[in-house]
Amino acid sequence: MTETFAALAEPNRFRIVELLRVGARSVNEIGERLDIKQSQVSKHLRVLKEARLVEVEARAQQRLYGLRAEPLRELNDWLARYRDLWDERFRVLDGLLTELEQKKERVHARRHSPKRK
């Protein structure tokens, strides 16, 4: 996981990953699409490969770089569980807020001219 984040933390690498979501591409294509020098693209791809975020496949004469879903799925899983934790709390909070608002309404209705807001 740590490598996943380290790899994604660099903006150009993140852009590469975003691009590869559509499908595998060659170094040239990536460089042209994102306007990054080919040598830089290769460097970034090396980091992404080490983080197991991309894999190379040889197709015809070309080497195509494609996304590996697993590390991204791990990240998504974690964020999803963190969200579930908060969502669970917030659903209880929803009930409390309804109760508090109703209480305020009642207090407000009882007063003809509230001294303080």
Q: Applying CB under 8 A, which residues contact another protein?
A: 1-2, 5-6, 8-9, 11, 14-15, 74-75, 77-79, 81-90, 92-98, 100-101, 104
Q: In whole angstroms, how close is the CB of 27 to another protein at the nearest point? A: 22
The residue (of 13 and 25) whose beta carbon lies closer to another protein is 13
Helices (H) and strands (E) in the chain, counts: 5, 2
Tell me how far, at minimum, the Cβ of 61 lies from another protein, in Å.
33
Nearest-approach distance from CB 93 to another protein, in angstroms: 4
CA 42 to chain centre: 24
Minimum CB distance to another protein smaller for 95 or for 114 = 95
Would you state the structure tokens that stand for residue 74, as one six-digit string? 């791990």
Count CB-CB contacts under 10 A for residue 31: 18
Residue labelled with tokens 């003809």: 112
**Which run of H or of E encompasses 57?**
strand 54-59
Give 55 or 88: the residue with its C-beta nearer to another protein.
Answer: 88
